[in-house]
């Protein structure tokens, strides 16, 4: 069930909100848990059982780890937790990838499993795995209440596409959270503005990508416009979902971690990855990079650690070679910055730094977007005129003219200055008075306009569902 769907907005969410807020405190978690399971069951009827397996498995292992803390058997419990989580993820997401590559390499004919990918499995397996690791490390106390723990795992605002919420982020709020009118108000505002970002902007960039690819002509301008539109689409799409998730979480009394911080204003790739999908980056840092030794080791091992982390980061996004190459691409850039290029970059002006980041990021998302490995050469080469039929064509210019205003709006929405202007004006007496009226009015207008687009059956994909 998409957040940006009429079913969610006008059937599921209102019913859940009513049931949740009329329920007494001791029943709020059960209401959320049942609602979340129904939410998942609505889109994944066959695989809802995986949520049960993941929840009960890590709940049991964490209790055993805490009970036998200090004894050797705790390592076995931790290993079993990790193996079960990675086993589920590996079978459903990567089995056919490995079988296909073995068949291609050895000429064998091992049949593919053809099992569908459970929605959100990359997110909730990482959440449960980090919980067990934190209990083993002593960073979290094992949750003995299965309903409370299952609520954490299955919580529908962040279940399908994050942000990756760790147990330690909301441990206190699971059993003791406050519900205020301010939280509900701010949560609804954050959710609705995220909805507008998704339906009105991200979807428009998705339409632009589709229209560009539908053209018969392949020009340099077409490839660059596609790179720009896709980069804007994936940022607006995913950050919008994070906004909606964070907003919903706040309505229910949870404070989820931020996931994006205007990454396109970065002055280096290192900074870009501190601002992009921050919960995933911190997860790999704490549970893969640091255990490997991080930077506190020899230079060769340090570089190895970076490459391993970024290869896994790419592979996490999808069971295709282009995702692995995408991860290694960023790993190589980060190694270059940390070794010597970063020092050169720091001496350059801000304009050069921004151009460097935008240029390298656009190329990265071209690699990310292709469906076939062979298309990488075609699309990346096309950016530089290799294989392109012309610099531009009449049809491409027509599409550029048609989407020009939306492109500008999407670029503006990807930058922090509108938010800063909004906050500064809100600090004035005039702003405070106007916002009292304008904020709810704006939220209402955005909701009505988005609803009109959704009822009309407009283009409404969500890119990260496949991960």
Q: Where are the beta strands (DSSP E) in 367-461?
A: none
Dihedral (CA of 37, 42, 44, 45) sign: positive
Separation between Cα atoms, residue 370 and residue 403, nearest integer Å = 22
Q: Cβ distance 269 to 49 under 8 Å?
A: no
Separation between Cα atoms, residue 102 and residue 65, nearest integer Å = 38
Question: CB count, 10 Å around CB of 87?
Answer: 12
Task: Please confirm, yes or no, whether 317 is among the known catalytic residues.
Answer: yes
Structure tokens that stand for 226 in this block:
């596609």
Dihedral (CA of 367, 370, 373, 375) sign: negative
Q: Where are the beta strands (DSSP E) in 410-453?
A: none
Separation between Cα atoms, residue 202 and residue 176, nearest integer Å = 36
Our CA dihedral for 260, 264, 265, 267, rounded to 10 degrees, sits at 110
- Of the residues 179, 277, 317, 354, only one is catalytic, namely 317
3-state secondary structure 116-179: CCCCCHHHHHHHHHHHHHHHHHCCCCCCCCHHHHHHHHHCHHHHCCCCCCCHHHHHHHHHCCCC
Tell me the catalytic residues. Answer: 317
């Amino acid at each position: 069930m998409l957040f940006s769907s009429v079913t969610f907005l006008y059937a599921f969410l209102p019913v859940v909100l009513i049931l949740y807020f009329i329920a007494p405190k001791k029943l709020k978690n059960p209401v959320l848990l049942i609602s979340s399971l129904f939410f998942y069951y609505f889109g994944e009827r066959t695989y809802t059982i995986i949520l049960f397996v993941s929840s009960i498995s890590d709940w049991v292992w964490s209790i055993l780890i805490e009970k036998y803390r200090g004894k050797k058997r705790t390592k076995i419990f931790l290993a079993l937790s990790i193996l079960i989580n990675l086993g589920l993820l590996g079978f459903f997401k990567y089995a056919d990838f490995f079988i296909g590559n073995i068949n291609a390499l050895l000429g064998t004919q091992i049949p593919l499993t053809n099992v569908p990918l459970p929605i959100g499995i990359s997110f909730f397996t990482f959440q449960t795995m980090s919980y067990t690791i934190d209990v083993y490390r002593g960073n979290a106390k094992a949750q003995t209440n299965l309903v409370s723990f299952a609520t954490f795992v299955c919580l529908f605002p962040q279940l399908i596409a994050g942000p990756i919420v760790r147990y330690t982020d909301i441990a206190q709020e699971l059993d003791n959270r406050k519900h205020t009118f301010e939280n509900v108000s701010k949560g609804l505002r954050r959710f609705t503005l995220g909805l507008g970002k998704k339906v009105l902007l991200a979807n428009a960039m998705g339409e632009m990508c589709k229209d560009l690819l539908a053209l018969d002509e392949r020009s340099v301008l077409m490839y660059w416009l596609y790179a720009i539109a896709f980069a804007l689409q994936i940022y607006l799409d995913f950050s919008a979902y994070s906004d909606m998730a964070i907003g919903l979480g706040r309505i229910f009394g949870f404070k989820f971690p931020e996931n994006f911080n205007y990454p396109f204003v970065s002055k280096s790739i290192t900074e870009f990855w501190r601002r992009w999908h921050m919960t995933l980056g911190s997860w790999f840092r704490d549970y893969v990079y640091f255990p490997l030794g991080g930077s506190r080791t020899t230079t060769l091992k340090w570089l190895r650690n970076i490459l391993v982390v970024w290869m896994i980061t790419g592979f996490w996004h999808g069971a295709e070679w282009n995702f692995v190459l995408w991860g290694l691409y960023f790993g190589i850039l980060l190694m270059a910055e940390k070794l010597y290029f970063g020092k050169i970059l720091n001496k350059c002006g801000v304009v050069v730094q921004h151009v460097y980041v935008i240029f390298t990021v656009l190329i990265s998302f071209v690699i990310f977007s292709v469906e076939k490995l062979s298309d990488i050469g075609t699309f990346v080469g096309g950016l530089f005129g290799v294989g392109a039929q012309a610099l531009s064509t009449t049809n491409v210019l027509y599409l550029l003219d048609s989407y020009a205003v939306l492109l500008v709006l999407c670029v503006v929405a990807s930058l922090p200055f509108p938010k800063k202007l909004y906050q500064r004006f809100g600090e004035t007496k005039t702003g405070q008075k106007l916002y009292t009226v304008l904020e709810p009015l704006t939220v209402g207008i955005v909701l009505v306009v988005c609803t009109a687009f959704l009822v009309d059956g407009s283009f409404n994909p969500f890119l990260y569902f496949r991960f």
